[in-house]
Chain A
Amino acid sequence: MINVALPKGRLGEKVYKMFALCGYECPSILENNRKLIFENEEKGVRYFWVKPSDVSIYVERGAADIGVCGKDILLEYEPDVYELLDLNIGKCRMAVAGKKDFYDDHTKTLRVATKFVNIAKKYYQSKCRDIDIIKLNGSIEIAPILSLSDVIVDIVETGTTLKENDLEVKEEIIPISARLIANKSSFKFKTQEIEKISEFLAEQVKNND
């Protein structure tokens, strides 16, 4: 039995469809209820919906053998897992954004508001820029408007939210997409099953390109 952690939400639904197309369907998952665990014994697969940022924890700790999560989560939490495949969906980018008239004064410490503390720290460290990190959990976009920060480091998908708040992308840090990850120990004992899923998914990614 392969345990799969899927991120709740639109991305998770897309990912499930990919798994189903590979022959790992579990029709009960489409029923409209509040259940979080779904199993198809015949296909040897069990899915569970978890918070997107928790997928890597379930996989790292072995509660799930494999899972799908965004590259942003992998960069932020650096879980000790295998990153087997880029699924090429859920595409967006991690970027630095600020007010349109923002000028980066290098004589001052840069105030950066973000949910992604680790990513922001590493990015500015690589540029030897002195920063003051302000950890926020949501509505990051209002930080520069209220002068809480000079810039933000956040995920940008279409840029609409930024535009509506009079912000714009200043620098792109890294492109983000959904990744198939595997628990290292599970990979040793379920190698063939995990490889098979990964190969099927890779085939789909190729076809979608």
Chain B
Amino acid sequence: MIKYLKNEEKIVLSLRSLYTNYGYLPYKMNKFEEYDLYARNKDFLVSDSIITFTDTNGKLLALKPDVTLSIIKNATDNKGVKNKMYYSENVYRISGGTREYKEIMQTGLECIGDIDLYDTYEVITLAKKSLEAISSDYVLEISHMGIISALLNSISENEDFCKEVLECVGKKSAHEIKAISQKYDIDSKDAKLLCDFVSIYGEPTEVISKLEKMDISEEFSKCTNELKQIAFLLSCEAGYDKIRFDFSIVNDMNYYNSIVINGYINGVCECVLFGGRYDNLLYKMGKKCQGIGFAIYTDLLASLNEKTSEYDVDTLVVYKEGTDASQIKNTVEGLAKEGKSVSAQKCIPPKLRYREIIEI
């Protein structure tokens, strides 16, 4: 039966089994959510255009543009307890290229509660295993928003400067940072420090050793140490060579405060996995707990390694007008029992590609 599944459906199936093995429970949600939830957290959303409508009670609803917010809303915070959930849902967003609404299939997981180092590691390793389930040729990138924020805070408190530099870090544009530093009268030593920071990426041990040489602040060292501990846990397992530390993954600091991750598959031109730790978002939503999770854009994987079938059906059965229905039934059933796909037609459909033809 599995052969009839599309590539992305097969992937979703294996991801479900992976998440279930780690104790994550399936989470099914309604297609609609109250618009207010998104209006209050608009900056957290990838696209700020939301499809809204009024329900029969006059309440403004939205076709959900995001899954995380709904899961957080319903999560409970008890000390020591973690809510571990996975989902496979469609979200509705404006596509960057066409500026039109698109239905996007997402599979992902969230771990919300009393999060510790193990949970962070578990989510990262599950992200790695998820990419492994898609292709052996992948890269999982890890960044730490705390490191970037500690570095920026040590240089300037000017919000505009920090915002512009953050954008350049995301684009790996050292030349732009130089220009911005001049614009904001930043000390040339600090400007060089920022430019050098952009070029720090790659194999975890190498990156950690470069970070440890930078004497920035206590907060910077604390975050570096967290990355180091995660690298150590990951180093004990297969696929460590696919892990990179890269600070060009920059997410909104108002929501993400710590680890952020991105996953890439060779052959797919966009990032397929997005995630991170979003304690600040939980705090904004009145929760005392922490949260980490990721989502995979499974629709991006549709074309990956999928061979286009040469034929639409194995056998085309063409029968004449007035042919006995039982005779057609027996022919079709006989072929189907042999495991062939059959299409019974009165004439040859113009665009149908078939392996063999039987005329009765």
Name the contact of B171 in the complex, choosing from A62, A83, A191 (C-beta under 8 A): A83
Residue of B at shortest CB range from A79? B96
Residues of B within 8 A of A62 (CB): 268-270
Name the contact of B269 in the complex, choosing from A82, A85, A185 (C-beta under 8 A): A185
- Write the nearest CB–CB distance from A161 to chain B, whole angstroms: 27
- In the complex the two chains form, is B175's CB within 8 Å of A189's CB? no
Q: Which B residues between 157 and 195 are near A, CB-CB below 8 angstroms?
A: 171-173, 175-176
B124-147 vs A, Cβ < 8 Å mask (1 yes, 0 no): 000000000000010101000000
Residues of A within 8 A of B141 (CB): 188
Judge whether B16 is part of the interface by a CB distance below 8 angstroms.
Answer: no
- In the complex the two chains form, is A189's CB within 8 Å of B173's CB? no
Judge whether A80 is part of the interface by a CB distance below 8 angstroms.
Answer: yes
Q: A61-B269, A62-B269, A80-B96 are in contact. Are A188 and B175 (CB under 8 A)?
A: no
- Write the nearest CB–CB distance from A25 to chain B, whole angstroms: 25
- In the complex the two chains form, is A184's CB within 8 Å of B173's CB? no
- Write the nearest CB–CB distance from A15 to chain B, whole angstroms: 16
Q: Which B residues between 256 and 314 are near A, CB-CB below 8 angstroms?
A: 264-266, 268-271
Residue of A at shortest CB range from B172? A82
Residue of B at shortest CB range from A202? B175
Judge whether A183 is part of the interface by a CB distance below 8 angstroms.
Answer: yes
- Write the nearest CB–CB distance from B210 to chain A, whole angstroms: 16
Name the contact of A84 in the complex, choosing from B137, B139, B172, B268 (C-beta under 8 A): B172
Residues of A within 8 A of B268 (CB): 62, 185
Judge whether B93 is part of the interface by a CB distance below 8 angstroms.
Answer: no
Residue of A at shortest CB range from B173? A83
Residues of A within 8 A of B248 (CB): 82
Q: Which B residues between 235 and 264 are near A, CB-CB below 8 angstroms?
A: 244, 248, 264
Residue of A at shortest CB range from B272? A185
Judge whether A76 is part of the interface by a CB distance below 8 angstroms.
Answer: no
Q: Which A residues between 161 and 198 are near B, CB-CB below 8 angstroms?
A: 183-186, 188-189, 191
A199 to B172, CA, bound (A): 14
- Write the nearest CB–CB distance from A176 to chain B, whole angstroms: 12
A60 to B269, CA, bound (A): 7
Judge whether A39 is part of the interface by a CB distance below 8 angstroms.
Answer: no
A62 to B271, CA, bound (A): 11
Residues of B within 8 A of A84 (CB): 172-173
Residues of A within 8 A of B175 (CB): 85-86
- In the complex the two chains form, is B139's CB within 8 Å of A83's CB? no
Residue of B at shortest CB range from A59? B269
Q: Which A residues between 68 and 83 are near B, CB-CB below 8 angstroms?
A: 80-83
- In the complex the two chains form, is B244's CB within 8 Å of A188's CB? yes
Name the contact of A184 in the complex, choosing from B96, B202, B244, B271 (C-beta under 8 A): B271
Q: A184-B271, A189-B139 are in contact. Are A83 and B266 (CB under 8 A)?
A: no
A186 to B269, CA, bound (A): 7
Residue of A at shortest CB range from B96? A80
Pick the most buried of B172, B264, B266, B271: most chain A CB atoms within 10 A of its CB.
B172
A84 to B171, CA, bound (A): 7
Identify 24 residue pairs between A and B in the complex whose beta-carbon atoms are under 8 Å apart, listed by A's number.
Answer: A61-B269, A62-B268, A62-B270, A80-B96, A80-B270, A82-B171, A82-B172, A82-B248, A83-B171, A83-B172, A86-B175, A86-B176, A184-B270, A184-B271, A185-B265, A185-B268, A185-B269, A185-B271, A188-B139, A188-B244, A188-B266, A189-B264, A189-B266, A191-B202
Known: A184-B271, A188-B244. 8 other contacts (CB 8 A): A60-B269, A80-B270, A81-B171, A82-B171, A83-B176, A86-B175, A185-B264, A188-B266
The 10 closest A-B CB pairs, nearest first, are A62-B269, A86-B175, A188-B139, A83-B173, A83-B171, A82-B172, A188-B264, A189-B266, A185-B264, A185-B269
